[in-house]
Structure 1
Amino acid sequence: MTESVRLTAVVDGRVQGVGFRWSVMARVSGPDALTGHARNLPDGRVEVVAEGPQEDCEQLLAWLRTGDTPGRVGSVSESWGPATGDHDGFTVL
């Protein structure tokens, strides 16, 4: 069994009001879905918190950085930690 990790990614650019959070939720949904949330921050960035297998979280991070998302991603900062199990599914806040 793969150990779960927690990825926190803060996405800067034109990422609010363009369907970005909903796109993230669609990306992580499925049979082996990541848990967590995507939420707008007051400064115009979007915070994405995802928990699950490290490989899946790394794939999400790579996708966030591709620019193949709604809006325009300028930069993505990341931090990693152990999964907390705080989330039941993935939500848009």
Structure 2
Amino acid sequence: MDNLSQPSVQEIDLVSVLAALADPVRLAIMRALYRDEGPIDCSIVAADIKLTPATVSHHWRVLRQAGLTATTKHGRSRKVEVRRADLANRFPGLLEATLAID
């Protein structure tokens, strides 16, 4: 089990977070992840996205590098979860405000 690189809590930058969430695909991915409390297999969320695997991988990387998600490799699969506590610590209320589902 390996964790992929991600910024520390102090390195999470508001501009990077908002830029990552500005893309409609990434916003949809984050909303899907936010509905679940624990880690989810990347392929389950990606199955609903009608994009090439390379493009979906790019979106996962942008979310992780912005500090929105944490990804753990389990063999050939990857589990992703929202960094709820880290983001709440850094930017209280941001996730609730940006991922609010109508």
Same fold (TM over 0.5): no
TM-score normalized by the length of structure 2 = 0.30
Q: Write 1 or 2 for the structure with the bigger share of strand.
A: 1
TM-score normalized by the length of structure 1 = 0.32
Q: Write 1 or 2 for the structure with the bigger share of helix.
A: 2
Structure possessing the higher radius of gyration over alpha carbons? 2
Structure with the bigger RCO (C-alpha within 8 Å, sep 6+) is 1
